[in-house]
C-alpha cells in the first residue's frame, strides 16, 4: 500500500488577535490543548530519560512513529501527516490542492496509516500556531521608523543583537509615545542595551531591572560612558543638556506583582537615584507602600507604564504577564 505525507490545507490558523476577546479565546484554546501533555512540557529533559516519560505517550502513536524515518518525523512540526493517496486531505479529491508535501513513500501491504488521534493532534497544533508570515510593520504600526544606532550605543553588540535592539526600541518608542506613557520598564534588562537605546536615542524615562547585580553594575557603568559621549556632543553643538536621561538600573528579584508596581513608582518618582540594589529592608519598604501603589496604578489619571523585554526569560516574564 502506498502512502504519502500531506499537510492539512484546512489547518491554517483560524484564530485571531484583532480584539482582546479573540486573543483570550486563542490563548484559552492553546492552554486547553496542551494541558493533557503538561507532564511532558514541564519536565526537565533529563527526566524524560530518567523517568521513561515516553511510556506515558499513547502506545498507538509510539508504535507507528518509531517506524518512520527521521526525515518524516522532522515534518511533523510543520503540520505534515501520513495519509493514503485516496484519502481527502483538505476536501480536494483531485489531489491538486497544493497541500501535498514530500514524495510518496512505499509501505508494505497491510501496514496501517497513522492513528486518527495522532493526525488530529498534529492538525490541531498547526491550527493553533501563530502565523509565521512576516508582518509589514508599516501597516501594523503606521509611522514606525527604525533608526540605526551609532557606534557608541551599539558598542559590544554583535550584528544580531544590534538589529534586535534597533527594531524593538523603535517599536517600543512608538507605542510609548502614542500612549503618552510615564516611563518604560525594561524587565530582564541584562547589560542594558535596549534600555540605553530607549533612553539616550529616543529620550524616554527608562527603568532597567535585572535579578543579577553584575548586570546592573555593567548597565550603570555603560550608561555613564555613553552619557559622557552625548554630553561632549551637546557641548560641541553649543546646546544645553536639558533632556539627557540615564536609564536607572536596579537589581531586583521580582517576588510579586505588587512589589514590582511599587518599585516602578518609587524609583521613577526619585529622579536622583540612578542605581539601587534591593535588600531585605528595601523589600519591606516596598511592601509597606503596596496599598498606595495600587491606588496610583489603578487610577485613570496616573500615566501608564510600558513593560518591555528583549529575550526576557524565567519567572520574571511569567510574573510580568500577570500584571493588569
Give 289-306 as a DSSP string: THHHHHHHHT-TTSPPEE
Average the pLDDT over each of 42-56, 133-147, 204-218, 240-254 and give the range with the smallest value.
240-254
With b for 16 or more beta-carbon neighbours within 10 A and e for fewer, the 159-194 pattern comes to: eebbebbbebbbbbbbebeeeebbbbbbbbbbbbbb
- pLDDT at position 117: 93
Q: What grid cell was written down for 111? A: 501496514
DSSP 144: -
> How many CB atoms are located within 10 Å of the residue 5 CB?
21
Q: Is the pTM of this model over 0.75?
A: no
- Model confidence band, residue 263 (pLDDT cutoffs 50, 70, 90): low
What does the pLDDT average to over 129-149? 84
- Backbone CA torsion sign across 24, 27, 32, 38: negative
CB 286 within 8 A of CB 259: yes
- Model confidence band, residue 254 (pLDDT cutoffs 50, 70, 90): low
- pLDDT at position 217: 87
- pLDDT at position 97: 39
Give the residue among 264, 315, 312, 259 at the shortest CA–CA distance from 288: 259
pLDDT tens by residue, 281-324? 544 544 444 444 334 344 455 557 888 989 877 666 777 777 65
Q: Give CA–CA dist 61/59, Å, rounded.
A: 5
- pLDDT at position 323: 61
Give ∠ CA 49-55-61 in degrees, rounded to 5: 120
- Model confidence band, residue 256 (pLDDT cutoffs 50, 70, 90): low
- pLDDT at position 267: 59
pLDDT tens by residue, 144-200? 889 999 999 999 999 999 999 999 999 999 999 998 888 898 988 888 999 999 999
Helix (H) or strand (E) holding 209: strand 206-210
Give 222-272 as a DSSP string: HHHHHHHHHHHHHHHTT---SS--PPEEEE-----HHHHHHHHHHHHH-TT
Q: Give CA–CA dist 57/40, Å, rounded.
A: 9
Give ∠ CA 8-14-19 in degrees, rounded to 5: 165
- pLDDT at position 294: 39
Q: Which residues contact 283 (CB under 8 A, 6 or more apart)?
A: 255, 259
What does the pLDDT average to over 115-126? 92
Does the pLDDT at position 84 exceed 70? no
- Model confidence band, residue 21 (pLDDT cutoffs 50, 70, 90): confident
Q: Give CA–CA dist 163/167, Å, rounded.
A: 6
- Coil, strand or helix: which one is 150? coil
Q: Give CA–CA dist 324/76, Å, rounded.
A: 37
- Coil, strand or helix: which one is 29? helix
Does the pLDDT at position 36 exceed 50? yes
Most confident of 9-13, 95-99, 140-144, 310-314: 140-144
Residue 59: phi and psi, rounded to 5, are -60, -35
Burial (CB count <10 Å: 0-12, 13-18, 19+), residue 152:
middle
- Higher-confidence position of 111 and 42: 42
- Model confidence band, residue 13 (pLDDT cutoffs 50, 70, 90): low
Q: Give CA–CA dist 259/286, Å, rounded.
A: 6
- pLDDT at position 133: 77
- Higher-confidence position of 21 and 258: 21
Helix (H) or strand (E) holding 118: helix 116-128
- pLDDT at position 235: 84
Average the pLDDT over each of 13-17, 21-25, 56-60, 99-103 and give the range with the smallest value.
99-103
Report the chain's terminal Cα–Cα distance, integer Å.
56
CB 247 within 8 A of CB 196: yes
Amino acid at each position: 500500500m502506498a502512502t504519502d505525507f500531506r499537510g492539512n490545507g484546512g489547518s491554517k490558523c483560524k484564530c485571531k488577535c484583532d480584539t482582546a476577546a479573540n486573543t483570550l479565546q486563542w490563548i484559552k484554546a492553546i492552554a486547553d490543548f496542551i494541558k493533557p501533555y503538561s507532564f511532558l512540557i514541564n519536565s526537565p529533559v533529563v527526566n524524560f530519560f530518567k523517568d521513561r516519560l515516553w511510556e506515558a505517550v499513547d502506545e498507538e502513536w509510539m508504535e507507528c512513529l518509531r517506524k518512520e524515518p527521521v526525515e518524516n518525523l522532522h515534518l511533523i512540526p510543520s503540520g505534515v501527516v501520513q495519509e493514503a493517496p485516496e484519502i481527502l486531505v483538505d476536501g480536494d479529491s483531485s489531489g491538486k490542492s497544493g497541500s501535498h508535501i514530500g514524495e510518496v513513500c512505499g509501505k508494505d501491504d497491510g501496514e496501517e496509516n497513522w492513528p486518527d488521534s495522532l493526525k488530529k493532534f498534529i492538525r490541531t497544533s498547526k491550527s493553533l500556531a501563530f502565523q509565521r508570515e512576516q508582518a509589514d510593520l508599516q501597516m501594523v504600526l503606521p509611522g514606525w521608523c527604525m533608526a540605526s544606532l551609532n557606534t557608541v550605543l551599539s558598542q559590544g553588540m554583535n550584528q544580531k543583537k544590534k538589529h534586535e535592539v534597533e527594531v524593538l526600541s523603535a517599536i517600543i518608542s512608538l507605542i510609548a509615545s502614542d500612549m503618552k506613557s510615564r516611563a518604560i520598564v525594561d524587565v530582564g534588562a541584562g547589560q542594558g542595551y535596549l534600555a540605553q537605546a530607549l533612553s539616550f536615542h529616543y529620550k524616554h524615562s527608562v527603568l532597567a531591572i535585572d535579578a543579577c547585580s553584575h548586570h546592573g553594575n555593567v548597565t550603570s557603568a555603560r550608561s555613564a560612558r555613553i552619557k559622557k559621549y552625548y554630553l561632549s556632543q551637546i557641548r560641541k553643538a553649543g546646546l544645553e543638556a536639558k533632556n539627557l536621561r540615564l536609564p536607572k538600573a536596579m537589581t531586583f528579584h521580582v517576588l510579586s506583582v505588587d512589589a514590582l508596581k511599587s518599585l516602578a513608582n518609587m524609583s521613577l518618582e526619585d529622579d536622583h537615584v540612578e542605581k539601587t540594589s534591593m535588600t531585605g529592608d528595601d523589600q519591606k519598604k516596598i511592601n509597606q507602600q503596596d496599598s498606595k501603589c495600587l491606588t496610583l496604578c489603578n487610577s485613570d489619571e496616573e500615566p501608564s507604564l510600558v513593560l518591555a523585554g528583549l529575550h526576557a526569560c524565567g519567572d520574571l516574564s511569567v510574573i510580568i504577564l500577570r500584571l493588569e
